[in-house]
Structure 1
């Protein structure tokens, strides 16, 4: 579990999926996220849901692959819940003036919500510290994440296929 000022965030989230049967709503599934992978020690990614059409076909889920950098389906969306440990726990050290080793660019529009902990968003020319409640609208730019604190950070990411 990740803790932040008496608020506890699980490493793997519970996912509740609703459904409709005969014009009556019901809980179709209630379980811990199923597509969970520890990519590095304590770096846990839970891929929650993906779609592969717009408008979305309600109730249809596209396949998730749970890679370090997700492959968002064409015209689709991707939701993931990520627990990011401190950089030092990952063995990451970035000397001043050097490019962050996890710098990457995506062809998606991403909404990133910081739920607990803190995390630096690193861009080519600048960086900013993110705290709980902060939301990043990541517009397909070159970026990296850096946790320079002593505690894990939990973020929720909603990624949409985009043309960059």
Structure 2
């Protein structure tokens, strides 16, 4: 399992900022073979509270709290390792929609972002602004892709 460091610098000691946590995340979960997700941080309100953290269960598909946020670390393995079969002219089996505004950054590897119409290849440094639409991810390479994502509760209009 990936070792994902998490450093929290929101504490105070003698009136000065200090590091209050410097350790590996405790909730990295392998939901499917090689698909590793860690919900590194979340907030439960807007504006966000800086006083405490409410730990939440790690889920394959995010369940962002109302008026809250998720900060996710995701390792997407090659499609062949997930044993996903996707037939042309059919929806991708991992197609999903969340009621969130997502900021996604590709750190390593490559990944296709698949929409209901069209797709695009993402590489390290690419940024995706995902605005509550149906989408799926496809890793057609031989290497895992690592992405960071911030998911913000949003109002989806029909």
1:10-89 alignment to 2 at 5 Å?
11-18=2-9, 19-89=11-81
| Structure 1: stretches of 5+ with no match in the other structure | 2-10
CA distance in 1, matches of 2:108, 2:123: 7
What stretches of structure 1 move > 3 A for 4+ residues in a row? none
For residues 46-67 of structure 1, give each alpha carbon's deviation from its aligned partner in whole angstroms, at most 9, with x where no partner exists: 1100001111111321232111
Residue 96 of structure 1 and its aligned partner are, at CA, apart by: 1.3
CA distance in 2, matches of 1:118, 1:59: 37
Per the alignment, do residues 54 and 22 of structure 1 end up closer, same or farther by CA in structure 2, a change over 3 Å counting?
A: farther
Q: 2:134 aligns with which of 142, 146, 154?
A: 142
2:117 corresponding residue in structure 1: 125
Q: TM-score, normalised by structure 1?
A: 0.91
Q: Contact conserved, 2:111 with 2:123, CA < 8 A, in 1?
A: yes
Q: Contact conserved, 1:12 with 1:46, CA < 8 A, in 2?
A: no
Residue 21 of structure 1 and its aligned partner are, at CA, apart by: 3.0
1:101 corresponding residue in structure 2: 93
Instruction: Give the aligned CA root-mean-square deviation in angstroms.
Output: 1.2
Residue correspondences, number: 155
Q: Contact conserved, 2:28 with 2:38, CA < 8 A, in 1?
A: yes
CA distance in 1, matches of 2:54, 2:131: 23
Greater share of strand residues, 1 or 2? Answer: 1
CA distance in 2, matches of 1:89, 1:81: 19
* Worse-superposed segment, 102-111 or 57-66: 57-66
